[in-house]
Structure 1
Amino acid sequence: MIQLKTVLTLVATAALAACTTLGPNYQPPAAPAPTAYRAASSVVGAELQRDWWLMFGDAQLNTLQAQALQASPTLAAAAARIARARAVFGATTADQLPRVDVGANAGGLRTSARATTTPVLNGRAVSFEGESFGLTASLGWELDLWGRVKRQQEAAQAQLDASTLDAAAARVALTADVAAAYWQWRALADETGALQRVRDSRALALRVAQTRFDAGASTTQDLARVRAELAAADADVADLPRRQALVLNQLAALTGQAAAELKLQAAASSQLTTPPPLRAGLPSELLQRRPDLAQSLAQLHAATAQVGIAEAAFYPSIKLTGSFGYSSEDLGALLSAPARLYNVGPSLSLPLFDGGRNQASLASAKAAVDESLAAFRGRMLQALREVDDALAELQGRTAVVEAQARTLASSSQALAVARSRYAQGAVSYLDVTEAERTPLATERALAQLRGAQWAATAQLVKALGGGWAVKG
């Protein structure tokens, strides 16, 4: 009965002590942000969703994204980190509960007649020899007087959140990289057509120049110049397979397959058009948009909880231990009342001298909080910069594309006039090929610029968090 009172007293003490949790409670830090981005962002535009690439209506891009999400080693590694963090969290949750073990033993036993612990009766040592059987159950429970176990669970939960957010950030980066590589491949296809037209025009110009030279109406210098232009066009055409192979290799790696396995079909539309505008929002919305920022806050939360764990090491710890069972030399009488045994009681551990270990651990935990806070602020500044960079890049590319489109329209009009005059016999065909020079070169440059414009769109998607949003 005395032991039962002891147990009840300790349980009551643990219930009262549950209100005591050492260490600072986590508070999200202030994240000051400017009222607007340096580059003026469009207020009107498409709002990114989680599967943001669907808004472009490209079936082949959708297929590539599905392959990447399913087979990417990067996402598989992130999923494994989540599973590991979840297991650690489960272990810390178990620390809050009592531990119960059951054991049994059987064997022969003989005590020594010459040991110092051997009992003596009437001047003679009493030894025992025979069989021994036992069945016991033991219980151990650490009373969380100072919230150490609670802080461990809090830190494990924060690390689990950080792992989940790390996977979300990896997903955003992966899908943006897949889209950027795919759009680059599309741009190369457009450039291939434009460059082939340049090469055909140069070949025709060479034939015309050769005819004029043979007729004595042109100089050797004119003929050499046209030959050099054709050779340059041939070199550009020959270089295209290399550039396309590099892009396809990148796409294959991003989608988790060998380059030889990747098969892409010609795009349904002949050329890349202007990408739709995206709503960048306000800088203050980045915390709700970017998983890497939320991950940084989760790591700060975990570091803050570690301070409480380090502080609890300075205080005494109390463990409630007990055992109950049976022990007998006769297996048939093992569960009888005389064979019953039990032991229950608390154990106290109080740190008196540790050579400064606990103080160093506390200082390390506090420094980790400062480090995590600085890392969050640095990541916030980096996120703001990435959005500003992406907006500036996209707006700059868009302006250049528009200017090149005007150049193409004007030069195409001039080419139409030259062809009309050639049909009327007013000029030679060499004048037509000269008039083709600007629109064909502009068409190729426009294909490259549109590829850069779409790549900047992917960069902006990544900078904005790829449609991820914090769950309220």
Structure 2
Amino acid sequence: MKNVRPITFALLPLLISACALQSPPAAVSASPPAQWFAPPPGGQPVAGLPHQGSLTDLTRWWEQQGDPLLVELISAAQAVSPSVATARSRIEQSRASRVAAGAALLPSLDAAASVSRGRSQPMTGATAPVATTAQAGLQTAWEIDVFGGRRDARNAAQLRYEGAQALWHDARVLVAAETANQYYSLRSCEQLLRVARADAASRAETGRLAQLSAEAGFTAPATAALARASAADANSRATQQAALCELDIKTLVALTALQEPDIKSKLASAPARIAQVATISIASVPAQALAQRPDVFNAEREVAAASADVGSAQAARYPRLTLNGSVAANRFRSAGVSTDFNTWSVGPLALSLPLFDGGRRAADADAAQARYEEAAAVYRGRVRQAVREVEEALVNLQSTAARSEDARVAAEGYRASFAGTDALYKNGLASLVDLEDSRRTQLAAETGLLSLQRERASAWVALYRAMGGGWTRTLEGPGGPAVATSTRQP
């Protein structure tokens, strides 16, 4: 009983402090909408199940486009992307932080060895012999995590590690979407270039015929001048379109790090069209769709990590309990005589109470609380942004689907109208002004149809990006499983 009382009194401040320790902040709810309010791709929403779909695996979505060159370009871009490399580096950093935070919960063990040689002069004035002292031993130290501060730090590191793995996939999805958009832009540009060159060739032939007719005296010089101006304008437009295609190629070179001649060779051998984009099924409940978003998952993990940081900062304001120990083997040699002896100790069991630090620990706790509130606000904003991106992609898909048939009919009609006007012009029954007006209308319709196809492909890519690109909470990243069950929820 005499030994128990001092220990009880020593631990009394810990018990009192444990009662006063505050709980970390609670989990944050983003409250996503109960249903989508945009129509699904290619149809009207159905009551009770707006999108007639379920969660879709998008990890192989690019292979479903039927364009091997697109898949090759995306793989090359992901392999050299600095953003993907940065995300991979952050995984390694967060993994190291997690290991360090977990190690802080365990006792440390260090080995120490020393050798000394010297003479100690006694007080009597006699000469002491030279002595050699050797020592080798182990020393251990352990901070007992009474208030869970180190556990909270470990949990925060684990949560950030999971979030970093999700962001690695998000970086790959962004690179894939950027590369696909650039590739579709190039394919659309090539189609527009063919239309522009065909239009320029047609106008040049009309200009040649008008010039011959003017020289023969059958056509006014002003009419021939109009034909020449129209041909020059079309040629300039085709030249400008060719330059835009060259810029698209150079952008692909920068994205993929492939050589420009290789890309041009691959483009020449691949079908020169925008591939038929595979459809994506959308989860009927927005919360299910948001579960596929790695950026939303990372924001959620950051909230939980910030909550654990609050607990760790609060624990730093309370007493610390540490335990030390050592074991050593010693040898003392003097005047040809050696003496061996071993020592060991357990303790001290030390208790330290923070009394005055100028408000530093309280300020750290306030800062951690502020970071938690910031992370919660970012998480709610990220959820709203994710819902917005899905809704916008669905609206754009519905809009392009509704306009596609009208654009096709308009292009066919204006094409037939121009063919008729051209026949009338060649037979002297229509003026050059009528012909140019019909040609201009046809060109606008052809350009509008191709631009609409490009816009629809971009909307599908946007939906792929908004749906998380096939990421799930069990998908593996470069360092192993991307996510695991959280060790501690706030």
Query: What residue is the counterpart of 1:93 in the other structure?
Result: 102
Q: Which amino acid aligns with 1:73?
A: P
Q: Aligned partners of 2:260, 2:53: CA distance in 1, in Å? A: 36
Query: What residue is the counterpart of 1:29 in the other structure?
Result: 28
- Tell me how many residue pairs correspond in the alignment: 453
Stretch moving more, 340-349 or 220-229: 220-229
Query: What residue is the counterpart of 1:266 in the other structure?
Result: 268
Q: Which amino acid aligns with 1:86?
A: R
SS of the aligned residue for 2:470 comes to: coil
Query: What residue is the counterpart of 1:135 in the other structure?
Result: 136
Query: What residue is the counterpart of 2:442 in the other structure?
Result: 439
Q: Alpha-carbon deviations, 1:153-199, whole Å to 9, x = none?
A: 10110111121121121111111111111111111111111111111
Query: What residue is the counterpart of 1:81 in the other structure?
Result: 90
Query: What residue is the counterpart of 2:346 in the other structure?
Result: 344
Stretch moving more, 313-322 or 450-459: 450-459
Against the structure 1 CA distance between its residues 400 and 127, is the aligned structure 2 distance closer, same or farther, given a 3 Å change threshold?
A: farther
Alignment partner of 1:414 is 2:413: no
User: What are the residue-to-residue correspondences of 1:32-181 with 2, within 5 Å?
Assistant: 32-42=31-41, 43=51, 47-111=56-120, 129-181=130-182
Q: Aligned partners of 1:26, 1:163: CA distance in 2, in Å? A: 22
Question: Are the equivalent residues in 2 in contact too, given 1:333–1:339 (CA < 8 A)?
Answer: no
Q: CA deviation at 1:211?
A: 2.3
Q: Aligned partners of 1:144, 1:21: CA distance in 2, in Å? A: 16
Alignment partner of 1:362 is 2:375: no
Against the structure 1 CA distance between its residues 293 and 126, is the aligned structure 2 distance closer, same or farther, given a 3 Å change threshold?
A: farther
Q: Aligned partners of 1:238, 1:222: CA distance in 2, in Å? A: 25
Question: Are the equivalent residues in 2 in contact too, given 1:140–1:321 (CA < 8 A)?
Answer: yes
Query: What residue is the counterpart of 2:461 in the other structure?
Result: 458
Q: CA deviation at 1:100?
A: 1.2
Query: What residue is the counterpart of 1:402 in the other structure?
Result: 405
Against the structure 1 CA distance between its residues 371 and 112, is the aligned structure 2 distance closer, same or farther, given a 3 Å change threshold?
A: farther
Q: Aligned partners of 1:260, 1:409: CA distance in 2, in Å? A: 36
Q: Aligned partners of 2:319, 2:341: CA distance in 1, in Å? A: 36
Q: CA deviation at 1:288?
A: 0.8
Question: Are the equivalent residues in 2 in contact too, given 1:198–1:441 (CA < 8 A)?
Answer: no
SS of the aligned residue for 1:100 comes to: strand
Q: Aligned partners of 1:112, 1:162: CA distance in 2, in Å? A: 65
Q: Aligned partners of 1:368, 1:125: CA distance in 2, in Å? A: 69
SS of the aligned residue for 1:137 comes to: strand
Q: Aligned partners of 1:44, 1:249: CA distance in 2, in Å? A: 41
Against the structure 1 CA distance between its residues 414 and 333, is the aligned structure 2 distance closer, same or farther, given a 3 Å change threshold?
A: farther
Ranges in structure 2 where 5+ consecutive residues have no aligned partner: 42-50, 475-484, 486-490
Against the structure 1 CA distance between its residues 308 and 213, is the aligned structure 2 distance closer, same or farther, given a 3 Å change threshold?
A: same
Query: What residue is the counterpart of 1:240 in the other structure?
Result: 241
Alignment counterpart, residue 292 of structure 2, candidates 289, 293, 318: 289
Q: Aligned partners of 2:126, 2:316: CA distance in 1, in Å? A: 48
Against the structure 1 CA distance between its residues 183 and 20, is the aligned structure 2 distance closer, same or farther, given a 3 Å change threshold?
A: farther
Against the structure 1 CA distance between its residues 308 and 435, is the aligned structure 2 distance closer, same or farther, given a 3 Å change threshold?
A: closer
CA RMSD of aligned residues (A): 3.5
Question: Are the equivalent residues in 1 in contact too, given 2:313–2:368 (CA < 8 A)?
Answer: yes
Query: What residue is the counterpart of 2:219 in the other structure?
Result: 218
Q: Aligned partners of 2:435, 2:251: CA distance in 1, in Å? A: 41
Q: Aligned partners of 1:24, 1:267: CA distance in 2, in Å? A: 64
Q: Aligned partners of 1:355, 1:128: CA distance in 2, in Å? A: 54
TM-score, structure 2 length as denominator?
Answer: 0.82
Q: Which amino acid aligns with 2:197?
A: Q
Stretch moving more, 302-311 or 453-462: 453-462
SS of the aligned residue for 1:324 comes to: strand
Question: Are the equivalent residues in 2 in contact too, given 1:82–1:163 (CA < 8 A)?
Answer: yes
Against the structure 1 CA distance between its residues 208 and 35, is the aligned structure 2 distance closer, same or farther, given a 3 Å change threshold?
A: farther
Query: What residue is the counterpart of 1:388 in the other structure?
Result: 391
Against the structure 1 CA distance between its residues 395 and 218, is the aligned structure 2 distance closer, same or farther, given a 3 Å change threshold?
A: farther
Q: Alpha-carbon deviations, 1:71-130, whole Å to 9, x = none?
A: 2222111111101110111111112222111122223133466xxxxxx6xx77997742
User: What are the residue-to-residue correspondences of 1:423-434 with 2, within 5 Å?
Assistant: 427=429
Alignment partner of 1:310 is 2:310: no
Stretch moving more, 21-30 or 314-323: 21-30
Against the structure 1 CA distance between its residues 268 and 258, is the aligned structure 2 distance closer, same or farther, given a 3 Å change threshold?
A: closer
What is the percent sequence identity of the aligned residues?
A: 30
Q: Alpha-carbon deviations, 1:315-347, whole Å to 9, x = none?
A: 21111111111222239997x7x5111222112
Question: Are the equivalent residues in 2 in contact too, given 1:155–1:305 (CA < 8 A)?
Answer: yes
Stretch moving more, 20-29 or 262-271: 20-29
Against the structure 1 CA distance between its residues 309 and 251, is the aligned structure 2 distance closer, same or farther, given a 3 Å change threshold?
A: same
Alignment counterpart, residue 353 of structure 1, candidates 352, 356, 359: 356
Question: Are the equivalent residues in 1 in contact too, given 2:24–2:310 (CA < 8 A)?
Answer: no
Q: Which amino acid aligns with 2:213?
A: R
Q: CA deviation at 1:470?
A: 2.6
Q: Aligned partners of 2:449, 2:294: CA distance in 1, in Å? A: 35
Stretch moving more, 182-191 or 283-292: 283-292
Stretch moving more, 452-461 or 212-221: 212-221
SS of the aligned residue for 2:132 comes to: strand
Q: Which amino acid aligns with 2:38?
A: A
Against the structure 1 CA distance between its residues 416 and 339, is the aligned structure 2 distance closer, same or farther, given a 3 Å change threshold?
A: same
Question: Are the equivalent residues in 1 in contact too, given 2:66–2:276 (CA < 8 A)?
Answer: no
Question: Are the equivalent residues in 2 in contact too, given 1:21–1:148 (CA < 8 A)?
Answer: no
SS of the aligned residue for 1:96 comes to: coil
Question: Are the equivalent residues in 2 in contact too, given 1:317–1:349 (CA < 8 A)?
Answer: yes
Q: CA deviation at 1:427?
A: 4.6
Q: CA deviation at 1:467?
A: 1.8
Against the structure 1 CA distance between its residues 304 and 333, is the aligned structure 2 distance closer, same or farther, given a 3 Å change threshold?
A: farther
